[in-house]
């Protein structure tokens, strides 16, 4: 399940994109200002960023330049009303993978999103697609988990939750963060769905793998 960050301050447009992407099986989150977009995009918590350039607080191009300067390889599709050729050139030079101008058709955006995700997967080194913590190996390409010599098949949500923990070893992740990254707030923030799924992972991957940090959330023990 691919996770897409939408950096868009216009609620109507953000809701339109979210609804369309979720109907095609993507998990989405929205950042409504430049700083939030930069903070959320940094660290590979998402698989792709749809970036508006006219964000409050800072120009979207500056956000993109900073992400690339920090070594962030997240695919970025610029979605903006700026249709001048100089703006497009500046976008690609800043590190954009694609550039779409508003108004746009969702069908075109969807095709571009799928193409960028596919290209990113094909271009990734095999070593980047495998994460190992203790005796557990997470294979992102095969969507499989191995505990020692045993292969564990995980449903989509459980795999995405496992990947989220493995990408942030030793870091405390709140229930709200996990809901956002794995479920995209499809569930009420007051739901205990995170606790239930952490319980599933403990049974399948090891009871002492994920630690409860009281009052804060969960942490993957390394």
Q: pLDDT tens across 61-78, in order?
A: 999 999 988 888 889 999
| Listed residue (65, 60, 69) closest to 102, CA to CA | 60
pLDDT at 59: 93
174 vs 78: CA distance, rounded Å? 30
pLDDT band at 189 (very low <50, low <70, confident <90, very high): low
Structure tokens at 116: 């960028």
Q: Band of the pLDDT at 19, cuts 50, 70, 90?
A: very high
Q: Which domains does the chain have, with CATH numbers?
A: 3-123 (3.40.50.2300), 127-220 (1.10.10.10)
Measure the CA–CA gap between 175 and 198, rounded to whole angstroms: 10
pTM: 0.62
> What's the pLDDT score for residue 96?
92
Question: How many Cβ atoms sit within 10 Å of the Cβ of residue 109?
Answer: 19
Token pair of 30 as six digits: 């929205």
């Amino acid at each position: 399940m691919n996770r897409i960050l939408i950096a868009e301050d216009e609620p109507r447009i953000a809701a339109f994109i979210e609804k369309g992407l979720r109907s095609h099986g993507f998990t989405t989150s929205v950042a409504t200002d430049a700083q939030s977009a930069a903070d959320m995009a940094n660290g590979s918590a998402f698989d792709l960023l749809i970036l508006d350039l006219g964000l409050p607080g800072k120009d979207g191009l500056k956000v993109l330049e900073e992400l690339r300067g920090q070594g962030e390889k997240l695919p970025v599709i610029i979605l903006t009303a700026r249709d001048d050729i100089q703006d497009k050139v500046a976008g690609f030079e800043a590190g954009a993978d694609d550039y779409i101008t508003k108004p746009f058709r969702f069908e075109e955006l969807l095709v571009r999103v799928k193409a960028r995700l596919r290209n990113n997967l094909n271009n990734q080194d095999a070593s980047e697609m495998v994460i190992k913590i203790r005796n557990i190996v997470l294979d992102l390409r095969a969507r499989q988990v191995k505990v020692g010599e045993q292969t564990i098949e995980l449903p989509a949500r459980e795999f995405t939750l496992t990947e989220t923990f493995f990408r942030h070893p030793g870091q405390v992740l709140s229930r709200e963060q996990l809901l956002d990254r794995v479920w995209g707030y499809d569930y009420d923030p007051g739901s205990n769905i995170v606790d239930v799924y952490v319980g599933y992972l403990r049974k399948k991957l090891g009871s002492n793998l994920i630690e409860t940090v009281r009052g804060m959330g969960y942490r993957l023990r390394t």
